[in-house]
Amino acid sequence: MQDIHADRLLILDFGSQYTQLIARRIREQGVYSEILPCDVDPSRITSFAPKGVILSGGPESTTVADGWKIPAEVYALGVPVLGICYGMQALAQELGGLVEASDLREFGHADLTITNDQSLFSGLSSTGTLSVWMSHGDRVTRVPPGFDVIGSSAHAPIAAMADTKRHYYGLQFHPEVTHSEQGTAMLGYFAHQVCGCGRSWTPQNIIDDAVTQVRAQVGDRHVLLGLSGGVDSSVVAALLHRAIGPQLVCVFVDNGLLRLDEGDQVMQTFAEHLGVRVIRANAETLFLDALTGVSDPEQKRKIIGRVFIEVFDAEASRLPDVAFLAQGTIYPDVIESAGAASGKAHVIKSHHNVGGLPETMQLALVEPLRELFKDEVREIGVSLGLPREMVYRHPFPGPGLGVRILGEVTRAAAETLRLADAIFIDELRRANLYDTVSQAFAVFLPVNSVGVVGDQRRYAPVIALRAVETIDFMTARWAHLPYAFIEGVSSRIINEIEGVSRVVYDVSSKPPATIEWE
Ligand code: XMP
């Protein structure tokens, strides 16, 4: 079988917020790429043996004495190197050019004039002037010996440089950002023409490779998977089913805090359509009993987490021949925990997954998505036959409606919220707005307000609608949904659900508000 990791590029991370984007763009070109921090043990650079290296941007300055250096092992590989932003400046500085700090920061769109289209830019469909995305203060003011200037902008006369003998290239702008015209073509040219990589990183090849690896790891043993209905665990289930069929056993915990019909949908998709072995643990009463009288959000989260593990553990202990536990860890989790371990993480995300490895079980891990970005996980999910709607669903928190019912969680509140949420999502889909927002949901507020429905006075709780636009869920803007649309959702919720007196729309962004209300 073809080795889909053979043609690979290394992305050396100097701390840019766009580093993961570079790796994704390279993979979209069908080329495997991995990210390593710039201060990684250099022997790993050598042993990774890439066909080319891309140096990312970063927040530091090469003009200060202790700025990050390019490890000598990168040059020693003897492969092409592309420096982006800080990466270009580091190349220029280290190879005998000059970098100067400038008060004129260039941020946002800039016009790049291509002055030489014979090397990195020779694969472009049009040359001349391109709109590109800049984000820098320092700039290269003299290229090192052996380099030519191949592009310039108003504030960066040396905006692109090339040494076509050693195959070293530098771009002051960010080709990985979609605002950079033909940026993907530049990266593609570097990967294919300059580094000589093929195009074997495709969804079908990724699936075939994962299937082979899982079979080799698992042999004839059994694998346990906690299926939540979320994207990652769903794709793991579909992939493992393809690889080992009946040796996979899934446990789906229905905690009574799921979306409308979600439990039935999970069972339908996996058990009925795909033929996966799924054990459904109906634990609504257990969860609701444990939550009775509890209003504090952190305490609610802890209880839901604890009961989840108890239920999962009880189900798992009835499966004596299980030797592996499967998890939906994906590549950004791996990068972030590596960053956190080395203390060099720029963004430390709080991981708040419910559950975890039951401590009493001595199980080895199967993590078939460890190398994949979320968009790759989604693509292989669709290739494996999962419904598009499931794979492209908005994120849903592990503690479910437990964090969307403010105050005490009761069965009645969960039922009201489930119906309101379903109406909101249904209307978003009908109006073709679902995919224009990153996350949308309803929240149950335990305050009664007065309303009039028909001739009747109604004194009932309030529902809040929340919809946000975001890229990374670390910051978010409230979605400017059309008034007429919100009006329609509001009137359906009040007319169709008896236990609601009024509907409000949340116009808070993050920060200072979080996405969930808790
Ligand atoms: P916040 O509310 O912190 O949410 O702005 C950011 C994103 O994380 C999701 N979220 C969770 N996801 N388990 C999860 O898997 C959780 O406990 C959890 N809490 C919040 C939230 O829905 C949003 O997408």
Ligand 1 center from residue 272 Cα (angstroms)? 30
Choose among 310, 242, 314: nearest CA to 275. Answer: 242
Q: Which amino acid is at 349?
A: K
Number of domains forming the structure of the chain: 3
Q: What is the CATH number of the domain that holds 380?
A: 3.40.50.620
Are both 172 and 37 inside the same structural domain? Answer: yes
Choose, from 34, 106, 136, 176, the residue flagged as catalytic: 176
pLDDT digits (tens, 9 = 90+) for 446-501: 999 999 988 889 999 999 999 999 988 999 999 999 999 999 999 999 999 999 99
With a 6 Å cutoff on the Cβ, whether 506 touches ligand 1 is: no
Choose, from 34, 38, 85, 250, the residue flagged as catalytic: 85
Please classify residue 9 by burial: count the beta carbons closer than 10 Å to its beta carbon, then call 0-12 exposed, 13-18 middle and 19+ buried.
Answer: buried
pLDDT digits (tens, 9 = 90+) for 169-192: 999 999 999 999 999 999 999 999
With a 6 Å cutoff on the Cβ, whether 439 touches ligand 1 is: yes
Residue 103: the pLDDT is 74
Are both 308 and 342 inside the same structural domain? Answer: yes
232, part of any domain: yes
18, part of any domain: yes
Are both 188 and 232 inside the same structural domain? Answer: no
Write down the residue that tokens 């140096």 correspond to. 55
Angle, in degrees to the nearest 10, between helices 231-244 and 203-218: 70
Are both 129 and 212 inside the same structural domain? Answer: no
Are both 434 and 493 inside the same structural domain? Answer: yes
Among 194, 219, 241, which residue terminates a domain? 194
Are both 245 and 334 inside the same structural domain? Answer: yes
401, part of any domain: no
Mutational test site, ligand 1, from 255, 471, 515, 518, max ligand atoms within 8 Å of CB: 515
User: What is the arithmetic mean of pLDDT over 305-334?
Assistant: 93
Are both 83 and 158 inside the same structural domain? Answer: yes
Residue 67: the pLDDT is 86
Q: Which amino acid is at 51?
A: K
Contact predicate 446/407, CB 8 Å = yes
How sure is the predictor about 263, in pLDDT bands with cuts at 50, 70 and 90?
very high
* Cβ-Cβ contacts under 8 Å for 148 (sequence gap 6 or more): 116, 161, 162, 163, 164
Annotated catalytic residue 85: yes
Among 194, 227, 255, which residue terminates a domain? 194
Are both 307 and 418 inside the same structural domain? Answer: no
The residues that bridge with 37 in the sheet, in sequence order, are: 13
Ligand 1 center from residue 152 Cα (angstroms)? 43
DSSP state of 381: H
How far are the Cα atoms of 353, 462, 499 from residue 466, in angstroms, in the given order?
Answer: 21, 13, 19
515, part of any domain: no
231, part of any domain: yes
pLDDT digits (tens, 9 = 90+) for 341-381: 555 444 323 333 434 455 556 789 999 999 999 999 999 99
Annotated catalytic residue 176: yes
Are both 258 and 356 inside the same structural domain? Answer: yes
404, part of any domain: no
243, part of any domain: yes
Q: What is the CATH number of the domain that holds 78?
A: 3.40.50.880
Annotated catalytic residue 192: no
Find the domain containing 113 and state its range: 8-194
Task: Provide the H-helix boundaries in 267-296.
Answer: 284-291
* Cβ-Cβ contacts under 8 Å for 454 (sequence gap 6 or more): none
Are both 160 and 32 inside the same structural domain? Answer: yes
Ligand 1 center from residue 405 Cα (angstroms)? 14
The answer to whether the predicted template modeling score (pTM) of the entire model surpasses 0.85 is yes
Tokens of 44: 């790993």
Choose, from 136, 174, 250, 379, the residue flagged as catalytic: 174
Among 345, 361, 391, which residue terminates a domain? 391
Are both 138 and 19 inside the same structural domain? Answer: yes
Are both 327 and 346 inside the same structural domain? Answer: yes
1, part of any domain: no
Tokens of 308: 């989840």
